[in-house]
Chains A and B, each alone.
Chain A
Amino acid sequence: MQLNFAAREVTMKLVYYGPALSGKTTNLRALHQLTSQDSRGRLMTLETKDDRTLFFDMLPLVFRAEGPRGVDDGKGMSLRVKVFTVPGQVLHTSTRRLVLQGADGVAFVADSQIRETENNAAAFVDLRDNLRELGLAVAQMPLVIQFNKRDLPGVRSDQEIADLASRGREPVFRASAVTGGGVLESFFGLLQLTWNKLDAEHQLAKNLGIDRAGFLPMVARKLGYEGDVATLLAANVGGGAKRREER
């Protein structure tokens, strides 16, 4: 996170990680589609001729955070959430490590197809190793897991995912990024964990004059989401719920 009090600006970095072709870029495209034009920047993709991510994709979401009174009095903070993807192909591990630097939260986009089980696991180990190289522990990193491609045949069943999730510590979301399903849910799930951690560490709400509980609904409003954030957050299965109850 970058905090610039003088410019009244907070920048958070969220990274979408995962094996090759699991749908990280598709998640970003969907997020771009689902958010309002006022608060999103251009989606920047750096890809090869065959549409494989070369260095990263980046979607900047920029909006003004209102004070507790819920009005923009021109004194609010400028909130910048920069969402990155990494290149999934195994050979780009050093690029993944570079993009992962300074990440405040990670969404792990897994491929639900059963035949991708090994690749998902290998990519997670790669994430853990790369975080270690950067002096970070995966257990300390705000992390959500998304099982993407729910629309395809040959995928792990909902029941299996729920069982796995209930034994894990991370919130797990199901998604079909090509249709946009589960994309906002995963994003807000990650934003919630990240905000909770940054707020606990830096007293962001207090220092920036932002309403702690109203943060996520405010972001949702700014991004043009008209529904209830609580509904989005409730879409996760397993570990996330357990973790919140412990708090």
Chain B
Amino acid sequence: MTSSSSVVELDANLDGRLRLEELVHREALGELCKSFYDLFGIPVRIYSSEGLLLADESKGQTICAYVNSSARGRAACATIVDAVKRADPGEKGDVVHPCFTGAAYRVIAIDYEGRQIGRLIVGPYLPAQSVAMPPTLLATEPALEAEKARTLLFEMPRAKSETITRLAAHLKAVLDLVIFSGHRAFLTSHMHLASVRENYRELEDKNKKLQDAYDRLKELDRLKSNFLATVSHELRTPLTSIIGYSEMLTAGIAGPLQPEQTEFVQTIFEKGEQLLSLILGLLDLSKLESGTMTVKLRRTEIGAVVAAAMSTLTPVAQKKSVDLKVDIPEGLPAVHGDPERLRQVFQNLIENAIKFTPAGARITVVARPVLSGDDGVGSAEDRDEDAGFSLLAPARAFVEVRVIDEGIGIPDREKARVFDAFYQVDSSSTREYGGTGLGLSIVKRLVDAHSGRVRIEDNAPHGAVFVVTLPVSREAPASPSVPPGPVQ
């Protein structure tokens, strides 16, 4: 058994790596801050929980520029700005941070799902209640002109503390929506990927199991073929003696037999022959399955092959009053095949046709050259695979042989299965028509070994047509041509 791989891992609560900078688009944050500034004139900055500045919208205040014009003022300003940047919004998530100029900053926590993921800094702004310049301004930098500093300080936008609280709450609500949407989109894509990976993993697991089962079945099949080959071989040896001795008895070699004895021995001989042909069929099949049957492909005239098969079967057909007709045109191209194996193919097909054809009906064998091995139509009409027909056709010449009977026919759903070993359309037909169910499977495998095709068509109104398509030989005709005979 294969062990399964483990389920694709997912951060269980889907919140392990929530970072403001990953959830929202920085430029969008910048636009949000700008629109806030445009509306209220109060600068706003957004920091990540690690202190990374994500958005900043603050045009320099005139008082700040004036303070920064001196070295001491610049140093003091930098200290304040730095402190504001690090300020902890505390448990309440909102603190005021004063500046020595009298201005103020508000540091507000940005929370999401109970965690602080960033900070909002609003300011500097001048608290609405400020009426006088605080002494800290000139104490920090005495070099500043008091009157100018006062004028510039009061140019700074004023705001009540409650107003800032309300503005910040609004900004937080908007941010919360932006973050929520970002989080939702993040989770959707994350889950999508994880689901695809998990599905893939599951399929891989199943494929592995199927492959294992398939390998096991293949091995079992191989064992079965070996077993069949061995058993068939071992059965044949004693059977040869049974057939041989019963034949000798019938011939009177061991002395004359009474008519009844002759009849009995004749039956032993016939049944022995039947058993032998079954065993030979099994042997052929197992050789074909194991790939140990050698097919010697060479230039072969199909007419001679069919004629050889016919001569064997004519007595059988006559006995059953079935009319056999052959129509093979002169000048049919030779095929690339093993004459003995092809004779076996057509003998099986014609024998099969005789078996299922009622007395008085006819079996016809016709042959013709075609261009495609697949459909036998040989036309280029509306077929994608026939694009480039004039280039491909010469390379794809085939001979098609049709064995046409007027028997019981084969239902569509059975057409593919009749080539399976031991299969008969209706298992009761084995009793009615005899046969082992091996003939067609041997035909299929032999034709496959010739790179040919075999298929079944209907012969309206009743009967079946077995169509065998074989590739044309590319060898030059030997002269004088040697008719193929049975090969030992």
Contacts and interface: CB of A to CB of B under 8 A. Distances in A.
A13 B15 CA distance: 12
Interface of B: 4, 7-10, 12-15, 91, 112-115, 176, 180, 183-184, 187-188, 191-192, 194-195, 198-199, 202
A62 B114 contact: yes
Given A41-B113, A46-B184, A98 B13 contact: no
Interface in A114-147: 133-134
Q: Which has the most chain B C-beta neighbours within 10 Å: A9, A103, A133?
A: A133
9 contacts: A2-B12, A41-B112, A46-B191, A54-B188, A55-B191, A78-B114, A95-B198, A98-B8, A98-B195
A99 B7 CA distance: 11
A55 B15 CA distance: 15
A44 B7 contact: no
A58 B14 contact: yes
Chain A, interface size: which category? 20 to 34
B192 A133 contact: no
Given A41-B112, A46-B188, 18 more contacts: A9-B115, A41-B113, A42-B180, A44-B184, A46-B187, A55-B188, A55-B195, A56-B191, A60-B113, A62-B113, A92-B195, A94-B198, A95-B198, A98-B195, A101-B7, A101-B9, A101-B12, A102-B12
A98 B91 contact: no
Q: Which 6 A-B pairs have the closest CB atoms?
A: A102-B12, A62-B114, A94-B198, A55-B191, A60-B113, A94-B199
Looking at A56, A62, A98, which has the most chain B CB atoms within 10 Å of its CB? A98
Contacts of A54: 188
Contacts of B192: 55
Contacts, number: 72
Interface string A48-63: 0000001110101011
A218 to B, nearest CB: 16
A26 interface: no
Nearest to B185: A46
Given A46-B184, A74-B91, A98-B191, A80 B10 contact: no
Contacts of B4: 133
Contacts of A42: 176, 180
A242 interface: no
A97 interface: yes
Contact of B15 (A78, A82, A103): A82
A35 interface: no
Interface string A72-97: 00100010101000000000101101
A134 B192 CA distance: 19
A11 interface: yes
